[in-house]
Structure 1
Amino acid sequence: MRASAFLYPWDVVGDPAAAGRLVDLGVRQVTLAAAYHSTRALTPRHPRHRVVTAEYAAVLYPPDERRWSGRELRPHPAGSWALGDAYGEAAEALARAGLDVHSWVVLAHNSRLGAEHPGTSVVNAYGDRYPWAPCVARPEVRSHLVSLAAEAAVRPGARGTELESCGWYGLAHLHAHDKTSGVGLDDTAQYLMSLCFCAVCRSGYAQEGLDDEQLAAGVRAALEPVWRGAPTTGPAGETLLEATVGHRAAVARTFQEEVVGAVRAAAGPEFRVLLHADPGVHRCGANAGVDPAAVFALADGVVAPCPSGRTDALGAFAPHAARTGGVLAANLTVVSGLGGTPHTLAEDADRAAAAGATELRLYHAGLASDEDLAAVRKSGALT
């Protein structure tokens, strides 16, 4: 299967050996970050540095002032970690080595946006804001992220894009020095803690016939046993999920339609658009929830999470990908320190193929140790 490795521009810029290392690995495509959230990343082989600190969410190229002039919400260029057109410089080096380059764009995950414009953030049922999570129901947020997608995805030389967090973001987020795991939250509790109660979302619930105050109170009541140590929210939580998920899914779907439409309008006809997606329509995060039966009519395919080689998400997408001829890429972690299994890549790839995957994604070639990369090569999965 065709495989692509994720990479940051700072993995390539300043390292003349980086592109050749990817070729030797056996991949023929790189998914290169063009717009990315704040992070602290290891660079285990770079000749000039070992740790890169991206202090805030930024675009890794010079934003077009003609697009953003006069707009209150606008992307920030990166600081010292990716000066100038770091994306373009890295993309050129990778292309010279014979690698196809696709852009990697993070959308609804931006702590600086929430810090500078608090009104753009998701607000939970307790009134707490999530500054890392822009609310995609808000018109100003949607307009900003649609424009960002069109610019960041369609970089010179890119043959396609992968859009991450293209939907709802919520509680689950590895924020700086996270201290949120003291109480275990199951899938339903995570959903309830991610429900947004900003003014726009409250209005949306009202249009669905839901009283927003009663809804927020119901969420708090359903979660109360969890704070006391109960394992689940019970039937009350499930009822609230069922009452709200239709509205939430519709908001996410129309947002995804706007984003993909803007990218297609800015790109050529052969440009490929994939969504990082989860088949649970209620899910929030980097792999935003989508309807598996509908997503392939919107995008050219999806990149589905396969933690520890599990194929649950692939199975939900597979029949629809096969029916439409869409791309179904299995996202496999190959960094041992992040819980990945590079030594079993061949077996994981076989399981993914059996579950319907048509391509592989390797997370993350820049973060992996020499030993991890050697295991990937030795596996034979990419030959």
Structure 2
Amino acid sequence: MVRHGAFAYTWDLVGDPAAVTRIAELGVDTVTLQAAYHSVRATTAWHPRHRIVHAEHAAAYFRLRPDRWRDLRLQPPAPSWAVDDDDRFGTALAALTAAGLRTEAWIVLTHSSVLGRSAPELVVRNAYGERFAHALCPAQPDVREYALRLVQEICDQYDVPALMLEACGWLGFDHLSAHEKTGGADLSPGARDLLSICLCPACSQALQLDVDELSADIRRLLDRELQHGVQVGDQLVDALGIERTQALHNHRSAVISGLVRDITAAAGGREILLMATDDPQVTGPDVGIDLAAFASPPTAYTVKCWDDEESAIARLKAAAARTEVPLVANVNALGDRPAELPSLAGRLVTAGAQQLRYYHAGLASPARRAAIRAAVQEVK
């Protein structure tokens, strides 16, 4: 049997007695429920109190116990929007559990502009010395402690069978921001990846390279593309060489695998579902790693299948060929062709997915909800 699940926000459920029934009507057996999350603006089509929720900053939606955070440099803020409830995750979890829906905690670890602005020394720093406030650097000990405490607090307070980990590594240059004005530079994929390399003090020390030389080379390559149109290309190895690229990948892998290992220990036997992609060059919410050689394999890898169908199938097949760790397909029900969702779900399972998670129960229109129902019925 294939496990079908749907992502949901706490504000989809809290304050709406009919929300659990609507999710159950999709036919899913699992809900991936937001416990700690970044800023977002979301529609809530059926909620009796609101239609738009503007989560202005990253926040913890579980019960915050101040005494458990006093010793940490980073402390998650509480939300102040939508519903007056200091334990929205717990309230939503109780409602879903009462309806027989298996509920896993969805935790965003290193994506927080509010914390990045409060502690700029702990964020990703590019070769120009510019800081990305949205991207906490996981090589920083304070960021690692923050991520582990999030997990510990959720596991201590709630009986959830699994944790879905998002942003368990570095975020980079690509980040939808207020009035984004970077598209006109026509940056190549390689240039975007160069801009995403973190050279903060923690990363610079761990890389075991001549970081001054590396930084200068990155700036030279980027300026040549930005100012003269000479593109870097797609692959970091072509820009930086094998030795430096491998050192970068080794550093990232060591930090991410160490964090996953410690989270697994803190989770007390719960399943760990890691949002990942099989490319150590990648930065973002899905961590870039070598699936075949990752030192701390989770219970399952969650593979994003949000682009065109053929690309999603190819990515799933490639991942299945590279690892024996089970795969969860993260399927976008908000795409351009919702009617094709049942076919895509079936093909993803044939390609190697053992589970499916549909994005997103609260954001989907009636037509997209119907497509999720059809996909669940189609793939058993």
- TM-score, structure 1 normalization: 0.91
What letter is aligned with 1:27? Answer: V
Does 2:247 align with 1:247?
yes
User: Mapping of 1:8-23 within 5 angstroms?
Assistant: 8-23=9-24
CA drift at 1:230: 3.4
Comparing 5-14 with 301-310, which one deviates more in the overlay? 301-310
Inter-partner Cα distance in structure 2 for 1:302 and 1:241: 29
CA drift at 1:56: 1.0
Aligned to 2:70: 69
Aligned to 1:352: 348
Look up the SS of the partner of 1:70 in the other structure. coil
Distance 1:50 1:241, change over 3 A: farther
Whether the aligned pair in 1 keeps the contact of 2:7 and 2:31 (CA below 8 Å) is: yes
Aligned to 2:111: 109
Aligned to 1:174: 176
Look up the SS of the partner of 2:25 in the other structure. helix
Comparing 179-188 with 55-64, which one deviates more in the overlay? 179-188
Look up the SS of the partner of 2:378 in the other structure. coil
CA drift at 1:286: 0.6
CA drift at 1:198: 1.6
CA drift at 1:200: 2.1
Aligned to 1:366: 362
Q: 1:87 aligns with which of 86, 89, 92?
A: 89
What letter is aligned with 2:100? Answer: G
What letter is aligned with 1:88? Answer: G
Aligned to 1:54: 55
Comparing 68-77 with 245-254, which one deviates more in the overlay? 245-254
Distance 1:67 1:244, change over 3 A: farther
Look up the SS of the partner of 2:328 in the other structure. strand
Aligned to 1:227: 226
Aligned to 2:272: 273
Deviations 1:1-20 (A, max 9, x none): 21110000000011111111
Whether the aligned pair in 2 keeps the contact of 1:167 and 1:288 (CA below 8 Å) is: yes
Does 2:318 align with 1:341?
no
Inter-partner Cα distance in structure 2 for 1:218 and 1:350: 46
Inter-partner Cα distance in structure 2 for 1:35 and 1:217: 37
What letter is aligned with 1:200? Answer: A
Deviations 1:73-104 (A, max 9, x none): 22112223353000010011111111000000
Aligned to 1:303: 302
Distance 1:341 1:374, change over 3 A: same
Aligned to 1:284: 283
What letter is aligned with 1:317? Answer: A
Look up the SS of the partner of 2:182 in the other structure. coil
CA drift at 1:296: 8.2
Inter-partner Cα distance in structure 2 for 1:25 and 1:365: 8
- TM-score, structure 2 normalization: 0.91
Inter-partner Cα distance in structure 2 for 1:137 and 1:242: 22
Inter-partner Cα distance in structure 2 for 1:8 and 1:236: 36
CA drift at 1:143: 2.0
CA drift at 1:373: 0.5
Aligned to 1:381: 378
RMSD of the TM alignment (CA)? 2.2
Inter-partner Cα distance in structure 2 for 1:101 and 1:259: 23
CA drift at 1:39: 0.9
Whether the aligned pair in 2 keeps the contact of 1:171 and 1:193 (CA below 8 Å) is: yes
Aligned to 2:319: 317
Comparing 250-259 with 44-53, which one deviates more in the overlay? 250-259
Inter-partner Cα distance in structure 1 for 2:221 and 2:102: 49
Does 2:152 align with 1:150?
yes
CA drift at 1:118: 0.7
Whether the aligned pair in 2 keeps the contact of 1:169 and 1:285 (CA below 8 Å) is: yes
Whether the aligned pair in 2 keeps the contact of 1:223 and 1:237 (CA below 8 Å) is: no
Segments of structure 2 that go 5 or more residues without pairing to the other structure are: none
Aligned to 2:216: 217
Distance 1:236 1:134, change over 3 A: closer
Whether the aligned pair in 2 keeps the contact of 1:222 and 1:236 (CA below 8 Å) is: no
What letter is aligned with 1:122? Answer: V
Distance 1:121 1:45, change over 3 A: same
Distance 1:105 1:155, change over 3 A: farther
CA drift at 1:154: 5.8
Distance 1:84 1:372, change over 3 A: same
Comparing 169-178 with 228-237, which one deviates more in the overlay? 228-237
Distance 1:95 1:319, change over 3 A: same
Whether the aligned pair in 1 keeps the contact of 2:116 and 2:133 (CA below 8 Å) is: yes
User: Mapping of 1:125-140 within 5 angstroms?
Assistant: 125-140=127-142
Distance 1:359 1:34, change over 3 A: same
